[in-house]
């Protein structure tokens, strides 16, 4: 058996403020740091040796991974991939989710957040929140930087990267990915063959390792390590 551990970064500063974050590069809160430390301790208790580590380009995912590696006493280099970034929320970026519900209605906000192929309006390239204006992405080709994304768009880049760079490791190695709510939702949709309706309701908790057990590249079992903060997923 081999294992894939998926972890959404610990609580970020904009999670706390209930803002649409997307590709904006914000760091962890104190609570997010504690979540990452607890995640590391839970993974350590599993006594799994991690062969490959992956993270998005974003600070909250990278720092979550660094905290976990520190607790595991494992200083392996990890691969950073923009393809694992959070979904780009377009013109919603930086806005408060509660205020937007009051302004345009809860149903519309849910559609913009969770529907399969609906995109928010594009974010202006003059916005300081546009990835082209954020130092983190200065070396990315401009043609891969989005102005907005649907979950479908996020799914396509995440799964392409997973199949090209990660999947083969799971034949005989263990892998940990530190990423984001929507990039992990995309992976769950693919790995568990979830339809578009189910994926719209799937919640991914911050800082809670999701351990997937593989055999012959098929998921055989799955569990959240922090049982008190686990969300509904699939039970094998």
Q: Are strands 210-215 and 218-224 parallel, antiparallel or unpaired?
A: antiparallel
What strands, in cross-sheet order, belong to the sheet with 175-179? Answer: 79-80, 52-55, 175-179, 2-8, 210-215, 218-224
Catalytic residue among 17, 30, 35, 86: 86
Catalytic residue status for 9: yes
Specify whether the CB–CB gap between 50 and 174 falls below 8 A.
yes
Catalytic residue status for 197: no
CA distances from 5 to 43, 55, 110, 119, 174 (A): 9, 12, 28, 29, 8
Q: Which two tokens stand for residue 136?
A: 């983190």
Task: Tell me the C-alpha distance between 33 and 22, whole Å.
Answer: 20
Catalytic residue among 9, 88, 130, 180: 9
Sequence-ordered list of residues with C-beta below 8 angstroms from that of 56, at least 6 positions apart, any chain: 62, 80, 81, 82, 84, 85, 86, 178, 179, 180, 183
Task: Tell me the C-alpha distance between 171 and 169, whole Å.
Answer: 5
Task: Collapse the DSSP code of 12 into the 3-class scheme (helix H, G, I; strand E, B; otherwise coil) and give the result.
Answer: strand
Residues assigned a catalytic role: 9, 86
């Amino acid at each position: 058996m081999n294992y894939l551990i998926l972890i959404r970064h610990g609580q970020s500063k904009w999670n706390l403020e209930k803002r649409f974050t997307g590709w904006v590069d914000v760091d962890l809160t104190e609570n997010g740091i504690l979540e990452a430390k607890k995640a590391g301790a839970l993974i350590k208790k599993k006594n799994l040796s991690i062969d490959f580590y992956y993270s998005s380009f974003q600070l909250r995912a990278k720092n979550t991974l660094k905290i976990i590696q520190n607790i595991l006493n494992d200083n392996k280099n990890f691969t950073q991939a923009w393809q694992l970034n959070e979904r780009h929320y377009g013109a919603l970026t930086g806005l408060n989710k509660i205020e937007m519900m009051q302004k345009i209605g809860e149903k519309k906000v849910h559609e913009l957040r969770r529907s399969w192929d609906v995109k928010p309006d594009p974010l202006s390239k003059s916005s300081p929140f546009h990835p082209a204006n954020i130092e983190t992405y200065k070396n990315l080709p401009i043609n891969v930087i989005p102005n907005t994304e649907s979950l479908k768009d996020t799914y396509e880049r995440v799964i392409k990267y997973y199949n090209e760079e990660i999947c083969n490791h799971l034949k005989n190695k263990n892998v940990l990915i530190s990423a984001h709510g929507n990039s992990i939702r995309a992976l769950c949709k693919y790995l568990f063959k979830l339809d578009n309706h189910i994926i719209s309701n799937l919640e991914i908790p911050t800082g809670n390792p999701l351990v997937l057990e593989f055999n012959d590249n098929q998921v055989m079992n799955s569990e959240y390590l922090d049982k008190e903060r686990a969300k509904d997923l699939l039970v094998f």
